[in-house]
A and B are shown apart, each in its own frame.
Chain A
Amino acid sequence: MVLYLFFFQNAHSESYVKAGESLIWDSENKTYTANVDVEFKNERFIAFADKMVANYIEENNDEIFTIIELFDNVIIKYEEEIFKGNYAIYTRENNIIKLIGDVSIESPTRILTGNELIADIDNNKRILNSADKESLVEVLLENNAND
C-alpha cells in the first residue's frame, strides 16, 4: 500500500514535455522548442499546443523552466478549469498564465469567452478581457466566493 501510494504520488507529480515531431535544445539561448502535438506538464497544470518554446535558467547545477510560451490551439487544464486560446505564456516566477486570441475559460459551472485571459494561479484570480467592448471581467471561483 505504501509502495502503491509512493508510485502513485510520483506518477502524478512527474513533469514532462512531449512532442509529436521534433524538439530542439538550444543551449546557447537556453531554450527548448517542441513542435507538433506538444504536451507539457508541471506540478501545476497540463498544457497542449501545436508548438512550445520553453526558456530555462541554470540554478545550483540544475536547469529550471522560467517562461513557457505555447502557440496555436492552446489548451491548458488546471484542476477543474480548462483555458483555451491561440497563444499562452506562463511565467513560473509569479505563476501567472496569460492567454491571447479567442480565449475561453471553462469550469464545471460556466464557460466565458473573450480576447485575453490572465489566470493568477497563486491568488486564484481570473481576469478576462473582451476586445470588442474593452470591458474587464473578473471571475471569482466558487471556493473564493465562499470566503
Chain B
Amino acid sequence: MTDYFIKKIINSLIIIFLTLQGIIYFLNQKPLTENFSQKKITVENFSTIVLSNSGITKIGSEKLNKIDDDNIYLEGESHLENKEYKIYGRNISINLSKEISSSDEYVEIINRMGLLKAQGFQNLDYDGKIFFKGKVEFVISK
C-alpha cells in the first residue's frame, strides 16, 4: 500500500517537473522572438552588400530602418558605393526591387570624372541614370 502511494507521488512529481520545464522553456522563447523581430526592423551602424542587376553595391548607414520587404530607409549619415560611384548623403530611401535610391538632402558623389555636390538625388540604378536636384556643382578632376 505504501509502495503504491510512493509511486503515485513520484509520478506526480515527475509530471509537475515536466510541466514546470515546459513553462520555463515557453517563457525563455518569448523574449528571444521579440529581440529577433526588433533586429529586422532597425539596425544601427549598419553595413552590407547588395547584389542587383547593376552589380554589387555596398550600403552603409548610421541606422537602417526596414520599411517592408522591398523598402529600406537609411537614417543619418549614409553611403552607397559601387564600381561607378560613391554617394555620401543623409536619410536615403532605397527600393530594392526597383533599384531606386533617393534623398532630398545634401549629397556628394565621387566618380571617375570628379566630385559632384547637389541638394538631393534620385538614382535609377537599373537605368544607369542619376538625377541630381537643386544647385549642382561638379568639379572635374585633372
Contacts and interface: CB of A to CB of B under 8 A. Distances in A.
Contacts of A16: 137-140
Q: How large is the interface on A (under 10, 10 to 19, 20 to 34, 35 or more residues)?
A: 20 to 34
A18 B136 contact: yes
Given A19-B135, A20-B135, A34-B136, A28 B112 contact: no
Contact of A26 (B113, B116, B129, B142): B129
Given A23-B118, A61-B112, A63-B112, 12 more contacts: A14-B140, A17-B138, A17-B140, A19-B135, A21-B135, A23-B116, A23-B131, A24-B130, A25-B129, A27-B129, A34-B136, A42-B140
Interface string A60-83: 011101000000000000000000
A18 B137 contact: yes
Tell me whether chain A's interface is mostly helix, strand or loop, or mixed.
Answer: strand
A15 B131 contact: no
- Which of B127, B129, B133, B140 neighbours the largest number of chain A CB atoms within 10 Å of its CB? B140
Given A24-B129, A24-B130, A19 B136 contact: yes
A56 B111 CA distance: 13
Contacts of B130: 24-25, 27
Contacts of A124: none
30 contacts: A16-B138, A16-B139, A17-B136, A17-B138, A18-B135, A18-B136, A18-B137, A19-B136, A20-B135, A21-B134, A21-B135, A22-B131, A22-B132, A23-B118, A23-B138, A24-B129, A25-B111, A25-B132, A26-B128, A27-B84, A27-B130, A28-B127, A32-B113, A42-B140, A58-B112, A61-B112, A62-B112, A62-B113, A62-B141, A63-B111
